[in-house]
Amino acid sequence: MNSCVNSAQCRAARALLGWTQEQLAERSGVQQRTVARFETDAAIPRTSTTTPLVDAFSSAGIAFLYAKDAEGVVLFSREWRGRTRR
């Protein structure tokens, strides 16, 4: 699992899910204060912080997209979760 996520992607993922920072903190095990500092670019988190965030989002159907000059977030519907590529 790629644990690289930026602050804008984190905010966008939470918005897609309708989660508060507190809910993300609860689901990921990362302190709410740390989530807030990351999302406002007040701190650069370690991989040990971003990995649980990405894992929590992934469990809820979020995928982070990366391209040469762009990054994004997508929420897969329940029907797509767990499917593998053919």
Residue at token pair 């809910």: 23
Q: Which two tokens stand for residue 69?
A: 């000059």
pLDDT of residue 3: 66
Positive or negative CA dihedral for 19, 10, 50, 80? positive
Q: Specify the CATH number of the domain 7-75.
A: 1.10.260.40
All structural domains of the chain with their residue ranges: 7-75
Of 46, 64, 57, 63, which Cα lies nearest the Cα of 23? 57
pTM for the whole thing? Answer: 0.83
The CA distance from 33 to 4, in Å, is 19
Convert the pLDDT of each residue in 16-36 to its tens digit. Answer: 999 999 999 999 999 999 999
